[in-house]
Amino acid sequence: MQPEISKETIRGHTTTIVLNILNQGDSYGYAIAKTIKVLSHAAYDINEATLYTVFRRLEKNGDITSYWGNETQGGRRKYYQITAQGKRTLAHNITEWQFAKNVIDDLILGRIDDNV
């Protein structure tokens, strides 16, 4: 049986996940949700309400902007684009994540006698 990742584990990182995807190119909600599933090897599905909450928060903070695409491929889609501020936020969040990951690895995997 394959282990599952809890939504609680991911919760604090959804903004960074979305910024990472948008840093690679403009996209819209459904495509971002699909990309998250692909990048997680189908281990994580983000629900639509969570995703749009992230979009609103990122837009309010100036990390992303949005615009309407054209109707050449069906309905009109709202696209999201990372800003310069968003790129700084992404870099900051990645640095924090790498530090936290190292500390958590030490706390969970570390042996007391290795540190004495």
Residue 105: the pLDDT is 94
- 116 pLDDT more than 60: no
- pLDDT band of residue 84 (cuts 50, 70, 90) is very high
Best CA proximity match to 84, nearest among 22, 12, 14: 22
Q: Tell which CATH classification among 3.90.1150.10, 3.40.50.2300, 1.10.10.10, 3.90.1170.50 matches the domain 7-114.
A: 1.10.10.10
Tell me what pLDDT residue 75 has: 72
Dump pLDDT digits (tens) for 1-35.
Answer: 667 787 888 888 999 999 999 999 999 999 999 99
pLDDT band at 57 (very low <50, low <70, confident <90, very high): very high
Boundaries of every domain in the chain:
7-114
This prediction's pTM: 0.88
Burial class (CB in 10 A: 0-12, 13-18, 19+), 116: exposed
